[in-house]
Structure 1
């Protein structure tokens, strides 16, 4: 069977008293306050970096700028930010994996 790693933060919603995890699944809990290990955080940072040093006159203009940046995302960009290799690199750097 193929091995799967499910990466979880330490939210109470991700813990249970007594569950059985199949042998081909490993639960990997992030340490607290480790956004660099969360794939979506890298995606949000990428979007925020695209919007840095810009000023908007109102919330509608800011919303439009964010929507534009999201529409510019391609599969390769998203994969590079959230894919297996970037996750493994972050886990190795953090000393977890």
Structure 2
């Protein structure tokens, strides 16, 4: 696996005022013959924790879309620990994605 294609650092501000960096990274989709599909890895690291997962799909677009879809859920684990922000704004730049069929 090569390096990530996208990376963002967001800030976790704990109730005590201590700030910690949370890093979100996404890798380019790769075809994985062992599972006969495309997968795009995603990782959220920070505050003493690492969560890794991947989006999967029948093509690279579906795998990448799936990886982006996972990010808000992966970040939700930090909600109890404090406030997340990006560029000193409340919005962290990862909107919920609707993957339902129109």
TM-score in terms of structure 1 length: 0.29
Q: Look at both structures and tell me which one has the larger radius of gyration over its CA atoms.
A: 1
TM-score in terms of structure 2 length: 0.28
Whose helix fraction is larger, Structure 1's or Structure 2's? Answer: 1
